[in-house]
Structure 1
Amino acid sequence: MHPRLTQSRLAELLTQFPAVALLGPRQTGKTTLALLEAKRRENALYLDLELPSAQRQLDDPEAFLRAHRKRLVVLDEVQRKPELFAILRSEIDMRRQEGETAGQFLLLGSASGVLLNQASESLAGRVAYLELTPFQARELLEPSASADDLSALWVRGGFPLSWLAKSASASLAWRDAFITTYLERDIPALGPRIPSTTLRRLWTMLAHNQGGLLNQSQLAASLAINGQTVARYIDLLCDLMLVRRLAAWHGNVGKRLVRAPKIYVRDSGLVHSLLGLASIDSLLAHPVAGASWEGFVIEQLIAAVPDATASFYRTTHGAEADLVLEFRNGDTWIVEIKRSSAPTVSKGFYSAAIDLGATRKWVVAPVAESYPMRDGIEVHNPLTAASMLAQQANSLGKGELFVMGR
């Protein structure tokens, strides 16, 4: 198993909070990470709530949890038993009275909206949230990695079984099966009655429009459904952590701002699977290449600083930054993302830097080494940029609660 950057943070949070919710799409390695953490403890208990046998053990959840005090209880796919959350609150409070203050429950979930809503109502102040994304470049590649190595990750995406597949065709086949399983099994199991063909068409349309402004009316017209239904479907894909709505920056800069969010399929490998792009050659020949690269880089950077507020900036007069990161200390870093290894900077980026009073200004591109440009702009490759952002996050101190981009 490749070491995950999240592993040490998970162990740390379990020493601080009674419960930790580890959230991420299916097949990102949540169970593997949780079992590794459980092995570090003498008598941790693991239950997979997708199994009928595990659900039967919780027929009387109060008695079951009471019988397993003084143990870390790991509950996988916990959103399948929403009635547990109120009981967990009572159990946490009882354990606290007995001196058990932290590391009581590890909750794994693949539907962030469901889990966050349920937990926020019942477990306020008792739970920390941590997101496990697909593999990030920093977890797989050395800082000196070649452009070909980075391109391989871009093409396949970061889902472990896609990245580790023995061939490009095997990787694509895994991603195709992953999408089908989500559409035909996982989403229906959560309750929504959504035709899988309609949701697949929407997901594919979002891939075609990768990084574009969200236009629900246009999507609704193309799918012959109403705008509210499109909004509900997109909410679902965001809750499953498969799609990101990147908010438009808002504030008082005396300019007319674009307010619609941008929409991204979060894993680049899924973008390429939805569009039938199996190789780097087919990807580079496709119109989505630049937007796919942009989405890939954005995921690398946001994952490095989960406590920062992420948005994009655009005015009606052309000022633009692909990514704006605002830190707790008041710093604002802005990023322009380029596919070219000899990037140039648009006039709109300079305007955005002035409008936002940017502390640092970056161009992120597939360059071999970092170098400066005029007016304090720095050029970095995605690996270097993500590492520098992680250092910034560490220097500011990690927040106790991770709020995930949705």
Structure 2
Amino acid sequence: MITRQAEAIVRQKLLQTPAVVLLGPRQVGKTTLARQIASDWAGGAVYLDLERPADRLRLEDADSYLRAQQGKLVIMDEIHRAPGVFEVLRGIIDDNRQAGQRSGQFLLLGSAALDLMRQSSETLAGRVAYLDIASLNIFEATQAGIPDNDLWLRGGFPDSLLAPGDIQSLDWRRDFIRSYLERDVPMFAPRLPAETIGRLWTMLAHSQGSVLNQSRIASAMGVSNPTIDRYIDLLVDLQLVRRLRPWGGNIGKRLVKSPKVYVRDSGILHGLLELETLNDLLGHPVSGLSFEGHCIESLIQAAGSRRVPYFYRTQVGAEIDLLLEKGGRPEIAIEVKRSMAPSPEKGFALACDDLEIGQRYVVYPGTERISLRHGAQAIGLHELATLLLQ
């Protein structure tokens, strides 16, 4: 079993707060992590899978059942199946606090970030901590002995990454995509057509890492701009797509104002494009932008909540693939090159000069750190991610 870095963070939060909401896509490892925590939790734990009718039945009188578990950690998986439970948690948490159980009362697992955060924040303000869990990152994969190219090709969903072969991995990702469109989209957004969202998802894969042109997509799909916005909102909410915002400070330059859009997991991206092997990927036009998205997602995870991610682009072509801001000031500029002989573009140097950024990195597939022109350094993905953890 692969050890998830999120496990230690979840345990720490549970020792500090009454409730923790753990958010992430299906099949990303939330249940495995929760069961691991439950297996040795002091005082015992109760696990409820709310996709099972028997477990949902226990919550028909949620107040009575949950109060009877006082002293235990109650884990509720797929919490969106029982949205009414949030109404009773506040009183139970407060009463448990009075009885001496001030932390570690509830661990709630869900797949739709925005809706769950809205419901829980309305009733559990000051009583809940939120954590995201993404697919396996480069540190977890390296610790498990998984080659970097396997992580890039197959993505970080455990069942895809650990499949016995590329064919089986791609088959799993096809099934994952189909299940989201046939099951999750109708559940989370019953008024949105799943088939149309599937087409949009594929279109976004073909334009991975491009500045979003909503009008063009809307025209191609025969719907309005606001409709496309709602569809993308859903994919972002399900943590399947990242909408990377443009940096918008006032520096006297004409800046691009539309976001870039990435399919977050590289394996799902390749599944949408039917790319089975590394050779298939390397020979496809999306290869460079796929590597860019893979690196950006890894670095954003490593940067955590301490730094805010953006991209930067002016109307005249000065550009930074990933700009990390800390304390309201641009701190680190990153360009991604899928070349063993990387060289920063002139536009990257101009953008760094515009923002007066000293830390300039070019991520490439190698491992040696190399000094480049314009004050930049070529650096491997793993080394830069390690630096961002510090």
- 8 Å CA contact 1:20, 1:127 repeated in 2: yes
Q: Which residue of 2 aligns with 1:34?
A: 34
Choose which of 177, 202, 205 in structure 1 pairs with 2:203.
Answer: 205
Q: Which residue of 1 aligns with 2:3?
A: 3
Q: Which residue of 2 aligns with 1:321?
A: 320
Q: Which residue of 2 aligns with 1:398?
A: none
Q: Secondary structure at the match of 1:9?
A: helix
Q: How many angstroms does 1:128 deviate by?
A: 1.1
Q: What CA deviation, in whole Å up to 9, does each residue of 1:252-295 have, x standing for no partner?
A: 11111101000000011111111111111111111111111110
Where structure 1 has 5 or more consecutive residues not aligned to the other structure, the ranges are 392-406
- Larger deviation: 373-382 or 296-305? 373-382
Q: How many angstroms does 1:81 deviate by?
A: 1.4
Does structure 1 residue 133 correspond to structure 2 residue 134? yes
Equivalent residues in 2 for 1:154-233, closer than 5 Å: 154-233=152-231
Q: Which residue of 2 aligns with 1:65?
A: 66
Q: Which residue of 2 aligns with 1:93?
A: 94
How far apart in 1 are the matches of 2:361 and 2:349? 11
Overall identity of the aligned pairs, in %:
49
Amino acid in the other structure paired with 2:37 = E
Q: How many angstroms does 1:327 deviate by?
A: 2.2
Q: Which residue of 2 aligns with 1:354?
A: 353
How far apart in 2 are the matches of 1:343 and 1:287? 19
Q: Secondary structure at the match of 1:340?
A: coil
Q: Secondary structure at the match of 2:35?
A: helix
Q: What CA deviation, in whole Å up to 9, does each residue of 1:177-196 have, x standing for no partner?
A: 00000100122122423333
Q: How many angstroms does 1:373 deviate by?
A: 2.1
How far apart in 2 are the matches of 1:229 and 1:356? 35
Q: How many angstroms does 1:136 deviate by?
A: 0.8
Q: Secondary structure at the match of 1:108?
A: strand
Runs (4+) off by over 6 Å: none
| Paired residues, number | 388
Q: Secondary structure at the match of 1:21?
A: strand
How far apart in 2 are the matches of 1:281 and 1:219? 29
- The structure with higher relative contact order (CA 8 Å, sep 6+) is 1
Does structure 1 residue 289 correspond to structure 2 residue 287? yes
Q: Which residue of 2 aligns with 1:19?
A: 19
Q: Which residue of 2 aligns with 1:395?
A: none
Q: Which residue of 2 aligns with 1:397?
A: none
Relative to structure 1, the CA distance from residue 381 to residue 142 in structure 2 (aligned partners, 3 Å threshold; closer, same or farther) is farther
Q: Secondary structure at the match of 2:104?
A: coil
- 8 Å CA contact 1:362, 1:379 repeated in 2: yes
Q: How many angstroms does 1:330 deviate by?
A: 4.8
How far apart in 1 are the matches of 2:322 and 2:11? 30
Where structure 2 has 5 or more consecutive residues not aligned to the other structure, the ranges are none
Relative to structure 1, the CA distance from residue 217 to residue 375 in structure 2 (aligned partners, 3 Å threshold; closer, same or farther) is closer
Q: How many angstroms does 1:320 deviate by?
A: 0.7
Q: Which residue of 1 aligns with 2:271?
A: 273
Q: Secondary structure at the match of 1:361?
A: strand
Q: Which residue of 2 aligns with 1:390?
A: 389
- 8 Å CA contact 1:220, 1:226 repeated in 2: yes
Does structure 1 residue 378 correspond to structure 2 residue 383? no
Q: How many angstroms does 1:317 deviate by?
A: 1.6
- 8 Å CA contact 2:247, 2:311 repeated in 1: yes
Amino acid in the other structure paired with 1:193 = R
Q: Which residue of 2 aligns with 1:111?
A: 112
How far apart in 1 are the matches of 2:168 and 2:38? 32
Amino acid in the other structure paired with 2:3 = P
Choose which of 299, 303, 306 in structure 2 pairs with 1:305.
Answer: 303
Q: Secondary structure at the match of 1:207?
A: helix
How far apart in 2 are the matches of 1:272 and 1:245? 18
Q: How many angstroms does 1:335 deviate by?
A: 0.3
How far apart in 2 are the matches of 1:262 and 1:138? 26
How far apart in 2 are the matches of 1:368 and 1:309? 26
- 8 Å CA contact 1:331, 1:359 repeated in 2: no
Q: What CA deviation, in whole Å up to 9, does each residue of 1:210-238 have, x standing for no partner?
A: 00111222111111122222111111000
Amino acid in the other structure paired with 1:265 = V
How far apart in 2 are the matches of 1:26 and 1:97? 35
Amino acid in the other structure paired with 1:314 = R
Q: Secondary structure at the match of 1:212?
A: coil
